[in-house]
Amino acid sequence: MFRIGEFSKIAQVSGRLLRYYDELGLLSPDFTDHQTGYRYYSAKQLPQLNRILVLKELGLSLEQIAQLLESDTSTAEIRGMLALRKAQIELSVQEEMMRLRMVESRLQQIDTHGQIQEPDVVLKSVPTQNFLALRDVLPGMSGIRRVVQKMVGVVPTVVGQSNLGYVTVVLHALSFDPEEMDVEVGYVLTGKTQPSVRLSEERTLTVRQLPAVTTMATLVHMGRVTETHQSYGPMANWLERNNWQITGTVREVLMQLPIEGQEDSAMVELQLPVSQMGKKLGS
Protein backbone atom coordinates (compact mmCIF):
# COMPACT_ATOMS: atom_id res chain seq x y z
CA MET A 1 0.00 0.00 0.00
CA PHE A 2 1.24 3.48 -0.81
CA ARG A 3 0.33 6.84 0.64
CA ILE A 4 -0.97 9.37 -1.88
CA GLY A 5 2.41 11.11 -2.25
CA GLU A 6 4.22 7.86 -2.91
CA PHE A 7 1.55 6.66 -5.34
CA SER A 8 1.67 9.96 -7.27
CA LYS A 9 5.42 9.48 -7.79
CA ILE A 10 4.96 5.89 -8.97
CA ALA A 11 2.08 6.83 -11.30
CA GLN A 12 3.71 10.11 -12.45
CA VAL A 13 0.60 12.17 -11.73
CA SER A 14 0.03 14.92 -9.19
CA GLY A 15 -1.51 14.30 -5.81
CA ARG A 16 -4.02 17.06 -6.60
CA LEU A 17 -5.21 15.10 -9.65
CA LEU A 18 -5.60 11.94 -7.54
CA ARG A 19 -7.70 13.86 -5.02
CA TYR A 20 -9.83 15.26 -7.86
CA TYR A 21 -10.42 11.79 -9.30
CA ASP A 22 -11.35 10.62 -5.81
CA GLU A 23 -13.94 13.42 -5.51
CA LEU A 24 -15.44 12.41 -8.85
CA GLY A 25 -15.49 8.73 -7.92
CA LEU A 26 -13.20 7.80 -10.81
CA LEU A 27 -10.38 6.45 -8.66
CA SER A 28 -10.78 6.26 -4.89
CA PRO A 29 -8.07 5.17 -2.45
CA ASP A 30 -7.96 1.44 -1.77
CA PHE A 31 -7.95 2.26 1.92
CA THR A 32 -8.44 5.41 4.01
CA ASP A 33 -7.30 5.55 7.64
CA HIS A 34 -10.23 7.27 9.37
CA GLN A 35 -8.09 8.17 12.39
CA THR A 36 -5.33 9.93 10.47
CA GLY A 37 -7.17 10.69 7.22
CA TYR A 38 -4.28 9.22 5.24
CA ARG A 39 -5.21 7.78 1.85
CA TYR A 40 -3.55 4.59 0.66
CA TYR A 41 -3.44 3.30 -2.88
CA SER A 42 -2.55 -0.15 -4.17
CA ALA A 43 -0.32 -1.04 -7.12
CA LYS A 44 -3.26 -3.00 -8.53
CA GLN A 45 -5.01 0.38 -9.13
CA LEU A 46 -2.36 1.49 -11.62
CA PRO A 47 -4.07 -0.16 -14.65
CA GLN A 48 -7.32 1.68 -13.88
CA LEU A 49 -5.48 5.00 -13.48
CA ASN A 50 -3.64 4.42 -16.75
CA ARG A 51 -6.91 3.66 -18.49
CA ILE A 52 -8.37 6.93 -17.21
CA LEU A 53 -5.33 8.84 -18.46
CA VAL A 54 -5.47 7.18 -21.89
CA LEU A 55 -9.19 7.90 -22.29
CA LYS A 56 -8.58 11.49 -21.23
CA GLU A 57 -5.78 11.76 -23.80
CA LEU A 58 -8.25 10.57 -26.44
CA GLY A 59 -10.34 13.61 -25.56
CA LEU A 60 -13.23 11.92 -23.78
CA SER A 61 -14.95 13.89 -21.06
CA LEU A 62 -14.63 12.78 -17.44
CA GLU A 63 -18.34 11.97 -17.50
CA GLN A 64 -17.81 9.67 -20.47
CA ILE A 65 -14.78 8.10 -18.79
CA ALA A 66 -16.82 7.40 -15.65
CA GLN A 67 -19.42 5.67 -17.80
CA LEU A 68 -16.77 3.60 -19.58
CA LEU A 69 -15.30 2.46 -16.27
CA GLU A 70 -18.64 0.99 -15.22
CA SER A 71 -18.65 -2.76 -15.64
CA ASP A 72 -22.13 -2.77 -17.21
CA THR A 73 -21.20 -0.45 -20.08
CA SER A 74 -21.90 -2.34 -23.29
CA THR A 75 -19.45 -2.71 -26.14
CA ALA A 76 -21.93 -0.85 -28.38
CA GLU A 77 -21.93 2.14 -25.99
CA ILE A 78 -18.13 2.16 -25.87
CA ARG A 79 -17.97 2.00 -29.64
CA GLY A 80 -20.47 4.86 -29.93
CA MET A 81 -18.40 7.13 -27.68
CA LEU A 82 -15.19 6.37 -29.54
CA ALA A 83 -16.87 6.83 -32.92
CA LEU A 84 -18.18 10.23 -31.83
CA ARG A 85 -14.73 11.24 -30.64
CA LYS A 86 -13.24 10.04 -33.94
CA ALA A 87 -15.64 12.27 -35.87
CA GLN A 88 -14.76 15.25 -33.65
CA ILE A 89 -11.04 14.70 -34.22
CA GLU A 90 -11.52 14.35 -37.99
CA LEU A 91 -13.45 17.64 -38.08
CA SER A 92 -10.73 19.33 -36.04
CA VAL A 93 -8.07 18.01 -38.42
CA GLN A 94 -10.00 19.37 -41.42
CA GLU A 95 -10.29 22.78 -39.76
CA GLU A 96 -6.57 22.85 -38.94
CA MET A 97 -5.68 21.83 -42.51
CA MET A 98 -7.79 24.70 -43.80
CA ARG A 99 -6.00 27.12 -41.45
CA LEU A 100 -2.67 25.68 -42.63
CA ARG A 101 -3.59 26.38 -46.27
CA MET A 102 -4.55 29.95 -45.36
CA VAL A 103 -1.25 30.52 -43.57
CA GLU A 104 0.72 29.00 -46.46
CA SER A 105 -1.16 31.21 -48.93
CA ARG A 106 -0.28 34.35 -46.99
CA LEU A 107 3.36 33.31 -46.69
CA GLN A 108 3.48 32.76 -50.45
CA GLN A 109 1.98 36.20 -51.07
CA ILE A 110 4.60 37.84 -48.83
CA ASP A 111 7.39 35.97 -50.65
CA THR A 112 5.98 36.89 -54.09
CA HIS A 113 4.56 40.38 -53.61
CA GLY A 114 6.18 41.59 -50.39
CA GLN A 115 2.83 41.91 -48.67
CA ILE A 116 -0.39 40.02 -47.88
CA GLN A 117 -3.00 40.40 -50.61
CA GLU A 118 -5.43 37.75 -49.34
CA PRO A 119 -8.87 39.11 -48.29
CA ASP A 120 -9.72 38.59 -44.62
CA VAL A 121 -12.48 36.02 -45.17
CA VAL A 122 -13.78 34.47 -41.94
CA LEU A 123 -15.73 31.19 -41.83
CA LYS A 124 -18.30 30.97 -39.05
CA SER A 125 -21.64 29.43 -38.17
CA VAL A 126 -24.74 31.61 -37.95
CA PRO A 127 -27.67 30.57 -35.72
CA THR A 128 -31.35 30.80 -36.56
CA GLN A 129 -32.45 34.44 -36.25
CA ASN A 130 -35.82 36.13 -36.02
CA PHE A 131 -36.11 38.63 -38.86
CA LEU A 132 -38.54 41.56 -39.04
CA ALA A 133 -38.57 42.31 -42.74
CA LEU A 134 -40.36 42.80 -46.02
CA ARG A 135 -39.63 41.24 -49.40
CA ASP A 136 -40.01 43.22 -52.60
CA VAL A 137 -38.54 43.77 -56.05
CA LEU A 138 -36.86 47.16 -55.74
CA PRO A 139 -35.34 49.44 -58.38
CA GLY A 140 -31.67 48.89 -57.61
CA MET A 141 -29.57 50.19 -54.74
CA SER A 142 -31.47 53.47 -54.63
CA GLY A 143 -34.70 51.61 -53.93
CA ILE A 144 -33.09 49.53 -51.19
CA ARG A 145 -31.64 52.67 -49.64
CA ARG A 146 -35.04 54.38 -49.50
CA VAL A 147 -36.60 51.38 -47.75
CA VAL A 148 -33.72 51.21 -45.24
CA GLN A 149 -34.01 54.93 -44.48
CA LYS A 150 -37.75 54.55 -43.90
CA MET A 151 -37.20 51.54 -41.63
CA VAL A 152 -34.54 53.31 -39.57
CA GLY A 153 -36.93 56.19 -39.02
CA VAL A 154 -39.96 54.05 -38.07
CA VAL A 155 -39.04 50.66 -36.63
CA PRO A 156 -36.87 51.62 -33.58
CA THR A 157 -39.66 53.91 -32.32
CA VAL A 158 -42.28 51.16 -32.63
CA VAL A 159 -40.26 48.13 -31.53
CA GLY A 160 -37.61 49.66 -29.26
CA GLN A 161 -33.93 49.90 -30.15
CA SER A 162 -32.97 47.34 -27.49
CA ASN A 163 -34.93 44.65 -29.38
CA LEU A 164 -33.18 45.29 -32.68
CA GLY A 165 -29.96 43.94 -34.13
CA TYR A 166 -28.43 44.98 -37.44
CA VAL A 167 -30.31 45.97 -40.57
CA THR A 168 -29.88 43.06 -42.99
CA VAL A 169 -30.51 42.67 -46.71
CA VAL A 170 -31.14 39.17 -48.10
CA LEU A 171 -30.50 38.89 -51.84
CA HIS A 172 -33.02 36.42 -53.28
CA ALA A 173 -32.45 37.02 -57.00
CA LEU A 174 -30.80 34.14 -58.83
CA SER A 175 -28.85 36.64 -60.95
CA PHE A 176 -27.97 40.30 -60.60
CA ASP A 177 -30.28 42.86 -62.18
CA PRO A 178 -29.39 46.45 -61.24
CA GLU A 179 -32.88 47.70 -62.16
CA GLU A 180 -34.99 45.03 -60.42
CA MET A 181 -33.55 43.52 -57.25
CA ASP A 182 -35.51 40.78 -55.48
CA VAL A 183 -34.52 41.46 -51.89
CA GLU A 184 -35.69 41.10 -48.33
CA VAL A 185 -34.87 44.07 -46.10
CA GLY A 186 -35.30 44.19 -42.34
CA TYR A 187 -33.92 44.02 -38.83
CA VAL A 188 -32.51 40.95 -37.13
CA LEU A 189 -34.33 40.80 -33.79
CA THR A 190 -32.58 40.44 -30.44
CA GLY A 191 -35.76 40.66 -28.37
CA LYS A 192 -39.52 40.20 -28.66
CA THR A 193 -41.82 42.30 -30.81
CA GLN A 194 -45.25 42.24 -32.41
CA PRO A 195 -45.63 39.95 -35.45
CA SER A 196 -45.86 42.89 -37.88
CA VAL A 197 -44.98 46.57 -38.16
CA ARG A 198 -46.67 48.95 -40.60
CA LEU A 199 -44.00 50.81 -42.55
CA SER A 200 -46.31 52.67 -44.94
CA GLU A 201 -49.67 52.23 -46.62
CA GLU A 202 -48.05 49.93 -49.16
CA ARG A 203 -45.52 48.07 -47.03
CA THR A 204 -45.65 46.02 -43.82
CA LEU A 205 -42.77 44.29 -42.08
CA THR A 206 -43.48 40.78 -40.74
CA VAL A 207 -41.45 38.42 -38.57
CA ARG A 208 -39.97 35.22 -39.96
CA GLN A 209 -36.91 33.12 -39.21
CA LEU A 210 -33.66 33.36 -41.09
CA PRO A 211 -32.39 29.76 -41.15
CA ALA A 212 -29.18 28.76 -39.41
CA VAL A 213 -26.12 28.34 -41.62
CA THR A 214 -23.44 25.84 -40.63
CA THR A 215 -20.65 27.50 -42.61
CA MET A 216 -20.92 31.15 -43.63
CA ALA A 217 -18.06 32.82 -45.46
CA THR A 218 -17.93 36.44 -44.32
CA LEU A 219 -15.96 39.52 -45.29
CA VAL A 220 -16.33 43.05 -43.92
CA HIS A 221 -16.62 45.76 -46.58
CA MET A 222 -15.60 49.24 -45.45
CA GLY A 223 -16.76 52.17 -47.58
CA ARG A 224 -19.75 52.99 -49.75
CA VAL A 225 -22.64 50.54 -49.73
CA THR A 226 -22.91 50.98 -53.50
CA GLU A 227 -19.37 49.60 -53.88
CA THR A 228 -19.78 46.23 -52.13
CA HIS A 229 -19.12 44.60 -55.53
CA GLN A 230 -15.49 45.58 -55.08
CA SER A 231 -15.31 43.18 -52.10
CA TYR A 232 -17.28 40.38 -53.73
CA GLY A 233 -14.59 39.90 -56.38
CA PRO A 234 -11.68 39.14 -53.99
CA MET A 235 -14.04 37.03 -51.88
CA ALA A 236 -15.04 34.94 -54.91
CA ASN A 237 -11.39 34.40 -55.80
CA TRP A 238 -10.67 33.28 -52.22
CA LEU A 239 -13.57 30.80 -52.27
CA GLU A 240 -12.42 29.36 -55.59
CA ARG A 241 -8.79 28.98 -54.47
CA ASN A 242 -9.84 27.25 -51.26
CA ASN A 243 -12.35 24.90 -52.92
CA TRP A 244 -15.58 26.39 -51.49
CA GLN A 245 -18.88 26.79 -53.31
CA ILE A 246 -21.88 29.03 -52.54
CA THR A 247 -24.87 26.97 -51.43
CA GLY A 248 -27.54 29.44 -50.36
CA THR A 249 -28.90 32.97 -50.25
CA VAL A 250 -26.44 35.83 -49.83
CA ARG A 251 -26.89 38.27 -46.94
CA GLU A 252 -25.51 41.76 -46.38
CA VAL A 253 -25.45 42.89 -42.75
CA LEU A 254 -25.25 46.67 -42.30
CA MET A 255 -23.06 46.76 -39.21
CA GLN A 256 -22.69 50.53 -39.53
CA LEU A 257 -25.00 52.69 -41.60
CA PRO A 258 -23.36 55.54 -43.53
CA ILE A 259 -23.19 58.82 -41.64
CA GLU A 260 -25.06 61.65 -43.37
CA GLY A 261 -22.66 63.43 -45.67
CA GLN A 262 -20.06 60.63 -45.34
CA GLU A 263 -21.17 57.93 -47.75
CA ASP A 264 -17.87 56.04 -47.37
CA SER A 265 -18.38 55.52 -43.62
CA ALA A 266 -20.55 52.39 -43.95
CA MET A 267 -19.49 48.95 -42.74
CA VAL A 268 -21.19 45.94 -44.34
CA GLU A 269 -20.55 42.28 -43.57
CA LEU A 270 -21.01 40.16 -46.68
CA GLN A 271 -22.29 36.68 -45.79
CA LEU A 272 -22.26 33.74 -48.23
CA PRO A 273 -23.42 30.22 -47.20
CA VAL A 274 -20.78 27.79 -48.45
CA SER A 275 -19.73 24.16 -48.44
CA GLN A 276 -16.57 22.36 -49.56
CA MET A 277 -16.57 21.16 -53.16
CA GLY A 278 -17.65 17.55 -53.40
CA LYS A 279 -19.77 17.68 -50.23
CA LYS A 280 -23.55 17.66 -50.15
CA LEU A 281 -24.99 21.09 -50.87
CA GLY A 282 -27.03 22.84 -48.24
CA SER A 283 -27.02 25.88 -45.95
CB 255 within 8 A of CB 267: yes
CATH class of the domain comprising 123-276 = alpha beta
| Beta-bridge partner residues of 81 | none
Domain boundaries, the chain: 2-69, 76-118, 123-276
Q: Classify 2-69 by CATH class.
A: mainly alpha
Whether pLDDT at 283 is above 50 = no
Within 10 A of 160 (CB to CB), how many other CB atoms are there? Answer: 12
**pLDDT at 116 > cutoff 60:** no
pTM confidence score: 0.59
150-194 confidence digits (pLDDT tens): 999 999 999 999 999 999 999 997 777 777 889 999 999 998 888
The count of residues in the chain is 283
Provide the angle, in degrees to the nearest 10, between the axes of the packed helices 15-24 and 4-11.
Answer: 100
> Looking at 22-36, 110-124, 260-274, which range is the least confident one?
110-124
> Looking at 102-116, 182-196, 204-218, 252-266, which range is the least confident one?
102-116
